[in-house]
Amino acid sequence: MKVYSSAFNALLFLALPLHHHLVSADVVLSEKIMSLSLESAILSSLAYKANPNSTGFDELTNFIDEPDQALFAYKDGYCFGSFRGTTLTADDWSQNFDPRSEPICMELESESCCQTRQGFHEAYYTTYQESFEKALRACAEGCENKDECVVLTGHSQGGAVATVAAIRFADLNPYIITFGQPPTIDAPCTLINSERYYRFVNTRTLEVGNLGITYDPIPFAPGMGTDSFGHMIMLGTDKADVAYIGLDSQERFDPLDLTAGAHSMSADGEGYIDRLVDLTENATYPIQSSGFSNPSYCTEDIECESEKCERETTFAYKRCVSDECEEDADCASTTNRCDAGACMPKLGSCMACDEDSDCKSGVCHLFKCANEAGLMDNECRCARNVDCDS
């Protein structure tokens, strides 16, 4: 897991939100793509291990030149290259902050180049670079279809390095699958096939104030002249929620999650691997990616299947809004509660609320429902003794 300093977190806030626009959900998250994505997430996590476990892979080779690391793996006819993200060393952090530009060129056509940040360039051009490239090309030579067997992946800075590697291997038309990746390459870059590039961005529930949802901060870090490529795929806080934001999208979202939870590969069920496992377990393919369902947390219309993200009251969380109802009376035959445009069940004692009509008791006190007597149960917040059932 990558941990970020407070200085870097502060820098992230310099990335101001851009204008949002709606796009069609035309990315296809097929069973093949989701399978490759899950394997990529596992390898991206293993790239942080000094001695990664090869269980589940037909072949796995570890390359280390501190502060950088790469894995070559083979499984089910696919040749994978995975790259480590940032670790807690000064040398590694300096790569993230180096704003200088450096050309990165195809291995077989040295005049075909794009521009990247020098730190990402250095993270690829290690003492093992030639050995890694030789292993990946040898694997690809054994594929029946060289155009369909190379996958490059990484988490955070590792995703940036995977994108650099994709330019080196552009002749093999690799899949690029990344997690929490920062902007990496200067646009335009014709050596990147955006249609084969899947860029996952995670979110996290944060029921503090009226936030509701926060975002992995690293994809929205200042690019220092670089841009984002590929299909931007937002993973929602609900297990089944996926929002396709667009191809080569430069959209920015906030508030950013400064706890590193949304950026982690695995974190109490909310990391990238956790999200992908949830999506692929008992899945029906292709995975629905037209937006978060109602009434999921959101901040922008573009995230919602309904294309409406609204705040019901001043202190409410923003949610994806349905058009099932407009007021409680519209739900008279069912739940007697209209919330986020849908008929929702009344809330029990101590459950989060933003207005009296949310609660079975008809009393919402300090954003928590009172019990049926209109008082606060034990361990539920209160302001005065007389508010408490005890």
Bridge-based pairing state of the strands 368-369 and 175-179? unpaired
Residue 386 tokens read as 């007389």
Does the pLDDT value for residue 337 go beyond 60? Answer: yes
Confidence of residue 210 (pLDDT cuts 50, 70, 90): low
Does the pLDDT value for residue 362 go beyond 80? Answer: yes
Q: Which of 161, 139, 134 is nearest to 150 (CA)?
A: 139
For residue 316, what pLDDT is reported? 81
Residue type, 143: C
Does the pLDDT value for residue 84 go beyond 70? Answer: yes
For residue 96, what pLDDT is reported? 66
| CATH class entry, domain 31-291 | alpha beta
Taking a C-beta distance cutoff of 8 angstroms, is the pair 325, 342 a contact?
A: yes
Which CB contacts under 8 angstroms, 24+ apart, belong to 376-379? Answer: 376/349, 376/350, 377/349, 377/350, 379/350
Confidence of residue 178 (pLDDT cuts 50, 70, 90): very high
Position of tokens 């509701």?
A: 212
Q: What are the phi and psi torsion angles at 141 (to 5°)? A: -60, -25
Confidence of residue 381 (pLDDT cuts 50, 70, 90): confident
Does the pLDDT value for residue 235 go beyond 80? Answer: yes
DSSP string, 139-192: HHHT-S-GGGSEEEEEETHHHHHHHHHHHHTGGG--EEEEESPPP-BPSP-TTS
Residue 341 tokens read as 């445009």
Residue 203 tokens read as 């979110």
Q: Which of 221, 72, 252, 213 is nearest to 156 (CA)?
A: 221
Does the pLDDT value for residue 11 go beyond 60? Answer: no
Bridge-based pairing state of the strands 78-83 and 231-235? unpaired
- Bridge partners for 201 per DSSP: 234
Does the pLDDT value for residue 90 go beyond 70? Answer: no
Does the pLDDT value for residue 196 go beyond 50? Answer: yes
Average pLDDT (237-242) is 92
Between 381 and 228, where is the model more confident? Answer: 228
Average pLDDT (244-262) is 92
For residue 53, what pLDDT is reported? 93
Does the pLDDT value for residue 26 go beyond 80? Answer: no
Instruction: Report how far residue 377's alpha carbon sits from residue 350's, in angstroms, rounded to the nearest whole number.
Output: 7
For residue 50, what pLDDT is reported? 94
Confidence of residue 209 (pLDDT cuts 50, 70, 90): low
DSSP string, 65-79: ETTEEEEEEEETTEE
Average pLDDT (141-156) is 95
Residue type, 234: M
What is the three-class DSSP state of 12?
helix
Domain parsing of the chain, residue ranges: 31-291, 294-345, 346-389
Instruction: Report how far residue 253's alpha carbon sits from residue 17's, in angstroms, rounded to the nearest whole number.
Output: 6
Confidence of residue 23 (pLDDT cuts 50, 70, 90): very low
Confidence of residue 18 (pLDDT cuts 50, 70, 90): very low
Position of tokens 């596992």?
A: 42
For residue 6, what pLDDT is reported? 32
Average pLDDT (321-328) is 86
Residue type, 165: A
Taking a C-beta distance cutoff of 8 angstroms, is the pair 33, 285 a contact?
A: no
Q: What's the chain's average pLDDT?
A: 88
Average pLDDT (91-114) is 81
For residue 22, what pLDDT is reported? 39
* C-alpha distance from residue 207 to each of 6, 201, 297, 320 (Å): 22, 20, 10, 16
Average pLDDT (111-119) is 93
Instruction: Report how far residue 112's alpha carbon sits from residue 188's, in angstroms, rounded to the nearest whole number.
Output: 13
Residue 368 tokens read as 């928590």
Confidence of residue 92 (pLDDT cuts 50, 70, 90): low
Cα angle, residue 155 at apex, residues 28 and 261 outer, rounded to 5° = 100
**pLDDT per residue over 265-299, tens digit each?**
998 888 999 999 999 998 899 999 999 998 899 99
Instruction: Report how far residue 124's alpha carbon sits from residue 382's, in angstroms, rounded to the nearest whole number.
Output: 55
* C-alpha distance from residue 86 to each of 119, 124, 139, 157 (Å): 11, 13, 27, 6
Average pLDDT (142-156) is 95
Position of tokens 């539920």?
A: 380
**pLDDT per residue over 151-161, tens digit each?**
999 999 999 99
**pTM of the shown model:** 0.83
The number of C-alpha atoms within 13 Å of 44 and in the hemisphere containing its C-beta is 36
Q: How many residues does the chain have?
A: 390
Confidence of residue 341 (pLDDT cuts 50, 70, 90): confident
